Structures are given as structure tokens and as C-alpha cells.
Chain A
Amino acid sequence: MHREFKGTFKICHLYPDLLNLYGDQGNVAAITRRCQWRGIETELHFVNIGDMVDFSEMDFVFLGGGSDREQNLMAADLAEKKDSLWKAIEDNLPILAICGGYQLLGKYYQTIEGKIIPGLDLLDFHTIGGEKRLIGNIAVEIQLGGESHKITGFENHSGCTFLGDIEPLGIVLSGYGNNGKDQREGAQYKNVIASYLHGPLLPKNPLITDYLISRALERRGHPWNLKPLDDSLENAANEFMLGRMLG
């Protein structure tokens, strides 16, 4: 049964003025369009420095990455919103955090010089600055909703992230992932998905997009299957890159 979701799906884009690198706003476009194509009305909330936001009201939150200066500005602002964010995470709010946004959710970031920059300390991992930038196309095998999928994207980071007591998003098939050593990519906790994948991640990997939308509807008390869409273009783009990387 594909009953209609009557409410408005509230999408929160954190710091779009600051964190607009690498086409990551495509993630917001993916969530928005895939709701709209199913007749789900969406509402986009831009939250910039100093703005108030009630995370419990939101259905999806996107946090991207920026250059160092911008990253510091937003880290300070988000630190003030930390408690409300943590409550929402525990209440199963779907969040996608990419690259710098991913790193920020962890315990700390240690620079090459050894300086410790505290993170929001919401999730159990830390990041260590590296000499070498990890750049290139990447393919990852992920487990999502009990199913295994191969996803693709582009990574570009010098920080190496090491997971503590938390699940990775997936296992690296080609590329570097979290740190280029342990084959792990990203992290997931409840409905938070954190990843280094640009590309952007969601348009080419619609199953993650739909997973996030489903979990959001479930959280609103609408636990039904989403109407399937024609994903032939999405799959073709993903499969082309898989073919190139994995042969």
C-alpha cells in the first residue's frame, strides 16, 4: 500500500552560505526531488550562523563541509545547538553529514602539528590530519536496511578518520575511505549517515536517499514502503563508475 504522506517533509540544510563546496547541495536536491516525485510536499529550511533551529521539527538534516575558515565558523555555531541535535539523533532524525561535516560529529580533529580541535563529540570516532590528500573516485559496499549495495562517489580529504564503537557506512572496494588503511568508509548511527563521498552522494545512490526518506516518514509515524521510481538513469550513472573502478 502506498498511502499518501499528508504532512510537509521538512528538509534542513545547515550553513548553505558557508558549506557549499563540491556540489554537495545536490544531496538536498535529491531528497527534495524524490519526495516531490512521490507527491510528498517539501519545505526547505536554510540555517545559517546565528539562526535558531528546532531539530525535533525537522525530517532530514544535511551538513556538508567547507574550507578551514568556514568550517571553524560553523563548528562554533553548531556547538551551541549540540544538545538539541543530540536529542534529535537519539530520536532517530535522519542526518547526512559529508566530509568536514562528518569529521565535526566526532570527538576531535588532530592537526598535522598535533593540535587537538574538539569536535561535537556526538559520535564515537576521531580524525587525524594527514600529509597526503586522499583524492579520487571511490566505490563502497554498504549494508543498509539489511541489504547490500555498491555505491560510488568522489573523495577529497586529508583528514583520516578512525572509528571507535560505531558501525562504518561500508567497506571500501576501490579508493581510500576513512583513512586509506582499514578499508572502512563513513559511519552510521541510528539514522545518521556520515561519509566522505562527494559526487554528490545521494543523486547517484538513490537507495540511500530513499532509505533516509523512509526512516524520516517512519519517525513521523508513517511506516510504509515508498512508491518506487524509475531509477534507470541513476543506476546507469552508478554502474558506469562501478564498471570503471571494479572492472
Chain B
Amino acid sequence: MKKIRLITALILGKLALLMIKLLGKGKGTSLPGRLALKISSEIIRLGALRVKKGIILVTGTNGKTTTNNMIASVLEESGYRVLINREGANLVYGIATVFVREMDIWGNRSFDYACLEIDEAAFPVVLSQVDAGCVVITNFFRDQLDRFGELDKTVGIVANALKNYKKTRLVLNGDDPLVAQLGRTTGQSSIYYGLEKYLDSHFVPSSVSEGKFCPLCGQKLDYSYYQYSQLGSYSCTGCGFSRLKPDIEGISPQFKSYSTSCLIEYSSSERIKLDVPIYGIYNLYNTLAAFATLNFLQINAQKIVDTLGKFKPATGRMEIFKYQDKSIFLHLVKNPTGFNQGLKAVLAMSENPLDLMIAINDNDADGRDISWLWDVDFEILEECQERFLSIVCSGIRAEEIALRLKYAGIRSSKLLIIKDYNCAVEMMFEGKGGGAYILATYTALWPVERIISQNAQRI
């Protein structure tokens, strides 16, 4: 009976996928799974049984998609058959959709590994249905508060799910106290990754920094340095909880506008050089998370760095396009920490002047509350606004982002409100800047990406 339900669910789900594809409506990353789950509530559990070597779950606020895609790409390159939700559809329906898409209709096809990135809120549900070989947790930042309540609650959801789970292995960001504490509170054995202090580590926290207090005892946390947001070297003034030397550590990172490199120390004393074609410290953390996971899965270190050296970012994760001679950057923004990193990337660009577009939507997937825009440090643009000929504000809440920029000190004459994506992207193509940068929230990203990819070359 279970089997019949499963087969029916798979067939219907696959039909839905086909329909969505034929109609050209949406990405079909959620509805097929939703339908299939209605018929067989066990589709995730039964699908997961077809994964032979191991299921890897990636959760946390930022970097899930990049980390997960990195892990999967190395496993695939190593000859394994991998099931993955590559497009970042990371809620329960999205996970179910992956199984619908990848399984044959009899539900018999098998895989070596499954790499699943999972939204923090959906994490307990998915975890309870699969036998996870390892769980990667990237970081915890403030994100879409209207959905979760508060950050403490989000951390609690993940912690509780792991506490009540059978034995697994955690891969934890040792530089984020909110993540690292899970090694102590969940009773699971853990591997930590982190980044050593380097030239740009700083001594003052950013304004949106979380983790001012010890997640274990509530006393104040002291920092000897910060990498970004609450990531850094912390130690608790009360209980002594502190950053330990991680098992996998990045050393002497170098950030160029299109790539990032560092040495990785692993297995106590071995070192290997890593050079990835993506920008920024947060991507370096994602890379270290992937390396730590793959090292745990006993993939050869040279194989890992060689494959990651050719890594292509997913849609909107600092993607680069060429339109005639002009580089167009596309980057997803969804919370203050990620947005701040995006703005730093914009300012790190060598092209002058620049065209900038920011598209903000407030659909469910973006977070209906856009107050967080006021926690983004747009003020760093004020001093260098001459670098921008104009800033195009787009998306459903275009007026609001324009208003935010006005109160960050950007002159109103530089702010253009163009709600229509076609016209807004056209401004980026035809703008007089040497390069264009587009930052967009989740549901604005996809239509914008479609317009760009129809007209420009993906690099």
C-alpha cells in the first residue's frame, strides 16, 4: 500500500513538473513536492532510503546554497551519483520536489549521496525523516524575522532537533559562537572549521552584530578580534566558552575582486593551497565548510581543492555576466549581514563609475517585513556616491529602498524608482558605468536573472 502510494505520488509529482515546464510558469521547485506529499507523506523518508553512502544536510542562515553546491560538485567530480536541491528550494516541499524529480516512477533509483540544504524552520521535519550522516551548520544571522520570531528561537529549533536525534556528525562554524555552542549542547560529536586571524580582522563589532552574550550561560562575550558580524575569536567572561583552534582552519586569506585564496590546515598539521573563483570572506567560510565536510567523507584533499578551484556559483550568488564589454554582477540579498557583504563587494570593484540596481520584494519567500533594510549599513555608500551615476531602485518595494538610501545620505537626484524589471535591467545594460551591480531579494532575483541571461553571456 505504501509502495502504491509512493508510485502514485511520484507519477503525479512528475506530471506536475512536466506541466510547469510546458507552461513555462515558475521554476517548479515546490508545487510537485507539495502534491506528492499530499498523496504519500513518506516520500522524503522513502526517497532517503535509496541513498547508499550518506546524506549531508546543510543549514544555517547564509551560505547554504553555495556550501551545499560545493560539496555536491566535488562528490560528483569524484564519480559519485548525487541527489541535490541545487536551486536552493530548501523548505519541505522543495526537498520533496527533488525526490520527485530525481527518482524513477517506481521509487527504485539509488544514489551514493544526497546533499540537501534545508531552511532552519524546516530542518526538524526533514531531519526526523532521514538518516543524516552529517549536518553542516554555516552561521546564524538575523533573517526574515516575521517568519521566525527571533534569532534565539531559530537557534533553539535547530539545537533541539539535533539534541533528540540519533548519533550523527556535525560540521560547525567554530568562529560563530551561536553555531559552535551546538557542539556542546546537542551531545553530537563535531568537526569545527574557522578562519585564522589575518590582516583585516577587526576589533570593533559591526552594528548588526549578534552574539553579544554567551549562548551557554548568558554572560557577556569578549572578542579578541572579529572577522565579520559575530564571527571571530570569542570567549565568555562567565563560563569560559571560547573559540578553539578549529580542525579545519583557513590561513592568510587573500581577497581579489573575482577570487579568494588561502592555505587550509587540516588533519592537525597538513596544509594545502586553495584558490576559488568567488569573492568574499563569507564565501571563504562556505568553502571551508565544504572542505571540512568532504575531508570527513574522506575525499582526497587535492581532489577537493582542484574541483573547488573550478566552482561556478549558483544563480545570484555573486554571478557574473558579460553584456558587450560590460560586466554585470548579480547577487542575492536576504538579510543585513549578506547585504553588507554585497555592498562591500560592490565597493571593491575596480570599474568606475558603476551602475547599481537594488530590487526589493516582500513576498513570503523574501520575508514580508522589510524593516531589516534599516539594519543594512548603506551609510558606507554616502561618502563614495560619486562612483554611482544613479542607483536604480526596483521591485515591489522600490520606494522603500529608495527611502532607505535617502536616509543613508544618498542624494535624491541619484535615486531612480523603476519598478518594471525589464526597464530597470535595461538601465544597467545601457548605463554609462564601466560595470553594473544588481542586488535583489529572492523573488526579484529570478525574473531579473531571466532578463539578464536572455541578453548577456554568463561567465
Interface positions of A (Cβ within 8 A of B): 16-18, 20-26, 29-30, 33, 67-69, 133, 135-137, 154, 156, 198-200, 203-204, 230, 233-234, 236-237, 240
Question: When A and B form their complex, what is the total count of cross-chain residue pairs whose Cβ atoms lie within 8 Å?
Answer: 85
Chain A residues, Cβ within 8 Å of B402? 233, 237
Among A16, A154, A230, A233, point to the contact of B371 (Cβ < 8 A): A154
CA of A237 to CA of B375, assembled, Å: 18
The 28 listed contacts between A and B (C-beta, < 8 Å) are A20-B375, A21-B142, A21-B145, A21-B150, A22-B145, A22-B371, A22-B372, A23-B372, A23-B375, A24-B371, A25-B374, A26-B371, A26-B374, A26-B407, A29-B407, A29-B408, A33-B407, A67-B150, A67-B151, A67-B152, A133-B149, A135-B368, A154-B369, A156-B369, A198-B369, A200-B371, A200-B374, A236-B417
Are A135 and B151 neighbours in the complex by a CB distance under 8 Å? no
A135 to chain B, nearest CB (A): 5
Are A240 and B399 neighbours in the complex by a CB distance under 8 Å? yes
User: Which residues of chain B from 203 to 247 have a CB within 8 Å of any chain A CB?
Assistant: 207-208, 212-213, 218
Are B374 and A204 neighbours in the complex by a CB distance under 8 Å? no
Among B212, B368, B371, B407, point to the contact of A17 (Cβ < 8 A): B212
Residue of B nearest to A206 (CB): B403
Are B371 and A199 neighbours in the complex by a CB distance under 8 Å? yes
Given A18-B212, A25-B207, A156-B369, does the pair A203, B146 have CB atoms closer than 8 Å?
A: no
A194 to chain B, nearest CB (A): 18
Residue of A nearest to B372 (CB): A23
CA of A29 to CA of B373, assembled, Å: 13
Interface positions of B (Cβ within 8 A of A): 142, 145-146, 149-152, 207-208, 212-213, 218, 368-375, 397, 399-400, 402-404, 406-409, 412, 415, 417
Given A18-B212, A25-B207, A67-B152, does the pair A237, B407 have CB atoms closer than 8 Å?
A: no
Are A156 and B146 neighbours in the complex by a CB distance under 8 Å? yes
Residue of A nearest to B369 (CB): A154
CA of A208 to CA of B399, assembled, Å: 19
CA of A233 to CA of B401, assembled, Å: 10
A152 to chain B, nearest CB (A): 10
Are B403 and A204 neighbours in the complex by a CB distance under 8 Å? yes
Chain B residues, Cβ within 8 Å of A30? 407
Residue of B nearest to A72 (CB): B218
CA of A222 to CA of B403, assembled, Å: 29
Are A233 and B372 neighbours in the complex by a CB distance under 8 Å? no
Chain A residues, Cβ within 8 Å of B368? 135-137, 154
Chain B residues, Cβ within 8 Å of A204? 400, 403
CA of A24 to CA of B373, assembled, Å: 10
A236 to chain B, nearest CB (A): 5
CA of A68 to CA of B375, assembled, Å: 20
Chain B residues, Cβ within 8 Å of A24? 371, 374
5 further A-B pairs in the complex, CB-CB below 8 A; given A22-B145, A30-B407, A154-B146 = A21-B150, A23-B371, A69-B152, A233-B412, A234-B403
CA of A30 to CA of B404, assembled, Å: 10
Top 9 closest pairs, chain A to chain B, by CB: A23-B374, A26-B374, A23-B371, A237-B399, A236-B399, A67-B150, A22-B371, A198-B371, A154-B369
